[in-house]
Amino acid sequence: MNKSKTILKVCRLALAVALVIGVTAGLSACKSDEQEIRASVETMLNAFKNPTKENLSPYMSEADKNSEAQEQLKKSGIDFYEFLGHALKHFDYRINEVKVEGNTATVKLDITNANINSAMEAARAEISNMSREESERLYQEGGMNALIKKLIESLYKKLDESTDLVTTSMELKMNKENGTWTVDEGSLNELVGAVYGVGALFGSDASASM
């Protein structure tokens, strides 16, 4: 298997795991619908600003926490929460409007974060420019995981130092069922894509460049 494709596959896994965040974020109506939605979305997005295991656990089911994707990341030496800590280092947001219409609602957001595509391209270029001797040495010492570790270390550095910040305006859809507001699963792809500064996370352009 092509080494580069294997490394990129593992990096994409870390993004894919993050996609589940928010699916289980039930929002209970305590005050007005608008107030409760705004407060709950703020709580969820604030967890992205400090993506520790403790903060993100409420938004992930037990199945998500022990998913096959998570296990593959661990085998490659990538800690999911460490990855998010670097990927979301520059994350910020603004809620512009909450509009409720019956059992549906729309939250208009501005999401700002580093452009992960740009950071990934820079990390890939750095690894590609390694000498053949260094590449072979790494592979002999630790196999594919050593090369993945080298790429991830470079990616983390690029993300931490990134000044290429992207602001994406989006609409988060909400549905009310049995008295509880929940994030519409159909808008999660757009949300996480905006969080990572790549637009639609698994659209054709993003997939090709990551």
Measured from the Cβ of residue 109, the count of other Cβ atoms closer than 10 Å reads: 21
Among 70-79, 85-94, 156-165, the minimum mean pLDDT is found in: 70-79
* Residue pair 59/22 in contact by the 8 Å Cβ criterion: yes
Q: Is the pLDDT of residue 91 over 70?
A: yes
Q: State the Cα–Cα distance between residues 39 and 112, nearest whole angstrom.
A: 19
What would the two tokens of residue 196 be? 């990572």
Q: Is the pLDDT of residue 2 over 70?
A: no
Q: Is the pLDDT of residue 85 over 80?
A: yes
* Residue pair 105/98 in contact by the 8 Å Cβ criterion: yes
For residue 64, the model assigns a pLDDT of 57
Q: State the Cα–Cα distance between residues 188 and 22, nearest whole angstrom.
A: 7
- pTM (two decimals): 0.76
Please enumerate in sequence order all residues whose Cβ is within 8 A of that of 161, keeping only pairs 6 or more positions apart, or say none: none
For residue 184, the model assigns a pLDDT of 82
Q: State the Cα–Cα distance between residues 11 and 72, nearest whole angstrom.
A: 11
Q: Which helix H or strand E contains 162, and what residues bound it?
A: none
* Residue pair 80/11 in contact by the 8 Å Cβ criterion: no
Q: State the Cα–Cα distance between residues 84 and 58, nearest whole angstrom.
A: 16
How does residue 201 score in pLDDT terms, banded at 50, 70 and 90?
very low
How much is the average pLDDT of 56-77?
Answer: 67
Measured from the Cβ of residue 35, the count of other Cβ atoms closer than 10 Å reads: 12
Q: Is the pLDDT of residue 104 over 80?
A: yes
Across 13-22, 50-59, 96-105, 130-139, which has the greatest mean pLDDT? 96-105
How does residue 102 score in pLDDT terms, banded at 50, 70 and 90?
very high
* Residue pair 144/6 in contact by the 8 Å Cβ criterion: yes
Residue 108: phi and psi, rounded to 5, are -90, 125
- Of the candidates 119, 113, 145, 115, which has an alpha carbon nearest to the alpha carbon of residue 6? 145
R_g (Cα) of the chain, nearest Å: 18
Please enumerate in sequence order all residues whose Cβ is within 8 A of that of 52, keeping only pairs 6 or more positions apart, or say none: 81, 85
- Of the candidates 170, 154, 186, 207, which has an alpha carbon nearest to the alpha carbon of residue 19? 186
